[in-house]
Structure 1
Amino acid sequence: MTITAKQVMSLAGRLLQDEEAVRWTLPELADWINEAVKAIVLAKPSANSVTAVLSLTAGTYQELPDQYQTLLRIVRNISSEGPPRVGGRVVRVTTRDALDAQAPYWHDPRQTPYKAEMRQFVFDEESPRSFYVYPGNDGTGKIEAIVAELPAQITATGDPAALASYDQDIGLEDIYLSPVLDFVLFRAMSKDSDAGNPVGAVAHYQAFASAVGIKTQVEGATSPNARAGVAGT
């Protein structure tokens, strides 16, 4: 099951003793839900992972389309998107050092001709939205990849002051309800006024960070390099 913004807002209003959204408005809560989702997806990319077909550009250097946050895995070449989708050669992760040692001119199409089909790729955690392919692509290749996608922003579909206007999927499974709620409560209690609660705000942020941190450690294999036992690129 997935979480709706309405669900988070309702719980937050109850815990803040502001069920009529007088002190903390619904558009404000929506902004904080969007912040929470982004923070979770950045810390734990597989929280909203999708399998997508990517079109490759000419050359060895590739970038993910704007809607994707990071590359998690490249599975195979695709000969037809279908339906049904038709797969080709599997793709393996390697290190830049290994390719540099074995084929020093692998970036140069005069030495290593570009092709439609790729065999290996190089991923660098410092640049999660880009990767290199070997051999360089001729601009016609397509691959199937698992990528992290940032869900669409939550905005009111009707009256911004009506809870029903936020009955929208935030893009995360219900196991993330508590971290999202903790983040919203942290932001609400951090407001500078008599209604603020700095001690409560810190407690909720720590709960949020702990929950996301634990899940990130448990799922520490999100990097393509970690899955393949690659120490670094």
Structure 2
Amino acid sequence: MASSILVKDVLYRVSAQLHDITPQFTRWTQRELVSWLNDGQKAIAKYLPSSCARVDAVKLVPGTKQSIESIASNSIIPGDGSSPSLVMGHYIQSVVRNMGTNGSTPGRAIRLADREILDVNSPDWHTQTASAVSQFTFDPRTPKLFYVSPGVPATPAVWVEISFLANPVEITVSGSYGMDGSDTTKISVDDKYVDDLVNYILARAYMKDAEFASNGNQASAHSQMFTGSINAQVVALTGVNPNLRSLPLNPNLPGVQTPTA
């Protein structure tokens, strides 16, 4: 899922609301804000997995057993046109089609198969190889793994297009994310979640000074805006209320009561 919003633009919005802009990162450092941005992306992806949905060309490894748990930068061509980087997948959704030996040549469609049927009809299917995949099998109990048939040979390379859910790409803390910075790093979640990210970072920032009553109230307010938005989006998608009551990945605010049912 492509994003167009730069990290430095998110941090500028946060710093401006914190009145920490002249100069920026005086009270709340860039390192702190970036670390909270990373936590916010993880929190969003935890409750809204589709926020990090991807469709990429991936180079398969030899054999039938494949994994999306850790896809190296030289084994992936992002479908959104971004630069390849290490991707940590956590749930395979579909193996769509063959993409040739270079990852950019669309080929034969790939069908979902029942592994038990493959086992019965062709018990030796794990030993067969070919230069293109025709079927894949998947067990949701092991969501990072899938098997392809025929298996992948040592050569030539076999690329396929995969739809899957991934962990947000970690934003490094070493970039130039100031208001006048030159860094062009983009956030990892979709643009529509930018207000949720801002609220998450603000909540964490105000927690830093939560011993002051006004900051504690601000932290609680932004925490509730974040959780309220996430809950509403989950309900809209699933009809199920996850009842998220406090900011994920952070202890409860000191001196602030958690809402009760």
* TM-score, with length taken from structure 2: 0.64
Matched residue, 2:145: 130
In the TM superposition, 1:8-23 aligns within 5 A as: 8-20=10-22, 21-23=25-27
Gaps (5+ residues) in structure 2? 72-85, 239-261
Q: Counterpart of 1:121? A: 136
Q: Partner letter of residue 22 of structure 1? A: T
Show CA shifts across 1:173-231 (max 9, x none): 431111101110121122265347444434433432343454456556xxxxxxxxxxx
- Equivalent residue, structure 2, for 1:223: none
Distance 1:204 1:166 in 2: 29
The answer for the alignment partner of 1:81 in structure 2 is 102
Any stretches of 5+ residues in structure 1 without a counterpart? 221-233
Separation in 2, partners of 1:170, 1:133: 32
Q: Report the 3-state secondary structure (helix = DSSP H, G, I; strand = E; otherwise coil) of the residue aligned with 2:106.
A: strand
Distance 1:163 1:214, change over 3 A: same
Pairwise CA distance, 1:53:
2.0
CA distance, structure 2, for counterparts of residue 16 and residue 49 of structure 1 = 32
Higher relative strand content:
1
Give a deviation string over 1:91-136, Cα, whole Å, max 9, x none: 1234xxx3214524867457x6233332222334454432222343
Q: 1:200–1:79: structure 2 CA closer, same or farther, 3 Å change rule?
A: same
Q: How big is the alpha-carbon RMSD for the aligned residues of Structure 1 and Structure 2?
A: 3.3
Correspondences of 1:169-188 after superposition (within 5 Å) = 169-188=186-205
CA distance in 1 between partners of 2:46 and 2:93 (Å): 12
The one-character-per-residue Cα deviations of 1:59-118 (angstroms, maximum 9, x if unpaired) are 322012141424343210123437xx3322211234xxx3214524867457x6233332
- Map 1:30-41 onto structure 2 (within 5 A): 30-41=34-45
TM-score relative to the length of structure 1: 0.71
Change (3 A) 1:24 1:195: farther
Work out the number of aligned pairs and report it.
Answer: 212
